[in-house]
Homo-oligomer: A and B are copies of this chain.
């Protein structure tokens, strides 16, 4: 950690701060510039409250040198992590196509979609059973029944299943679900993250709408520090002033996250854009910039979809897209 002192600080105050910092077991290097004095703190600074130090009258600014995330830091884990979900590998060159409806609505629907996406080469089946909705008056999912129908579709097609969990109280219902998804709104539901860290099950962690990459990694750290290393990250759009799409898909997050962490990174173009015409171009873009997979909403009858119909592809659209995604992946590798 580096602490820049203001110009003309009384020696006494400076010594007081240095003494306080030394109490943390740190060694302090002092470097005097023309206009500023810089303190270099050597040792374990994780316990030092950076905001507090920067608020002191004599301090100009503070910079943390060592990132606060460790378990998910590529510096300490140079090789790509490969996460297995029901036999399907994600990361380290393994590209996963996750597809399915926004919500599980009926046995007929989930089976039809599961068969269709399986035929188009999908690796994992998605489907919402518990749906976070902005309004208390909106459809919030079939809940336990939805999970049961998902398991039925897995039995029928062999596709592993992923579904969103919204609170720790739902954990028993998810015992036989292959991957648990943490939605954007719950990315900083720390109690939930900690509980997921106690499981031996892959977690799909979506980036919050207003969260930085470092905050996303700190949330992954919550799960990993509690013992569960099987975390897959997912970019799904951030909130900006831009008003044409629901969110702004931040695709540069993909190569950036690959620098910062060894965890796999997926992209969800359906929720990011909220417009089905944009799902195909943004999926191809995600594949081109190195994503480890895609999560795409597919529906067999979009006009009747109970939620988010606007962003779902029809099976034949998904099939055409999946072929192009493979071609782009080949082009990029070459």
> What is A's interface to B at a CB cutoff of 8 Å?
2, 4, 7, 20, 29, 31-36, 38, 40-43, 46, 49, 51-52, 54-56, 60-61, 63, 65-66, 68-69, 75, 132-137, 140, 166-169, 185-186, 188-192, 194, 208-210, 212-215, 218, 221-222, 225-226, 238-245, 248-256, 259, 272-278, 281-282, 284-290, 302-303, 305-311, 324, 327-328, 330-332, 334
Q: Which of B137, B221, B334 makes the CB contact (< 8 A) with A46?
A: B137
CB distance B254 to A281 under 8 Å?
Answer: yes
Number of copies: 4
* Cα–Cα distance between A25 and B210 once the two chains are bound (Å): 39
- A51, B308: Cβ atoms under 8 Å? yes
Bound together, the chains give a CA A178 to CA B226 distance in angstroms of 33
Nearest-neighbour CB distance to chain B for A302, whole angstroms, equals: 7
Question: Closest 4 A-B residue pairs measured CB to CB?
Answer: A210-B210, A55-B310, A31-B40, A52-B309
Establish whether residues A42 and B52, one from each chain, have CB atoms under 8 Å apart when the complex forms. no
A256 → B minimal CB distance (Å): 5
Query: For A51, what are the chain B residues with a Cβ–Cβ distance below 8 Å?
Result: 274, 308-311
* Cβ contacts under 8 Å, A282 to chain B: 251-252, 255, 289
Would you call A137 and B68 a contact (CB within 8 A)?
Answer: yes
Cα A124 to Cα B65 in complex, Å, equals 40
Q: For residue A248, which residues in chain B have a CB less than 8 angstroms away from its CB? A: 238, 240, 248, 250, 252
Given contacts A51-B309, A285-B288, A331-B331, contact A225 B136 (CB under 8 A): yes
User: Can you list 13 pairs linking A and B with CB atoms under 8 Å apart?
Assistant: A33-B42, A33-B43, A52-B305, A56-B303, A60-B65, A185-B188, A212-B243, A240-B250, A251-B285, A255-B282, A285-B286, A288-B288, A327-B331
Query: Contact: A273 with B288, CB < 8 Å?
Result: no
Establish whether residues A49 and B307, one from each chain, have CB atoms under 8 Å apart when the complex forms.
yes
A210→B190 contact, CB < 8 A: no
Residues of B within 8 A of A307 (CB): 49
* A303 interface neighbour in B52, B285, B331, Cβ under 8 Å: B52
A35: contacting residue among B66, B169, B327, CB under 8 A: B66
**Which partner residue on chain B sits nearest A305 by CB separation?**
B52
Using Cβ atoms and an 8 Å threshold, which residues of chain B touch A69?
Answer: 135
Nearest-neighbour CB distance to chain B for A37, whole angstroms, equals 10
Query: Looking across the interface, which residue of chain B has its beta carbon closest to that of A185?
Result: B188
Residues A55 and B212 in contact, CB atoms below 8 Å apart: no
Q: Which residues of B contact A284 (CB under 8 A)?
A: 288-289, 332
The CA of A308 and the CA of B105, in the complex, are separated in Å by 45
Which of B7, B191, B255, B272 has a CB less than 8 Å from the CB of A166?
B191
Alpha-carbon separation in the docked complex, A245 to B241 (Å): 12
CB distance from A14 to the nearest CB of B (A): 15
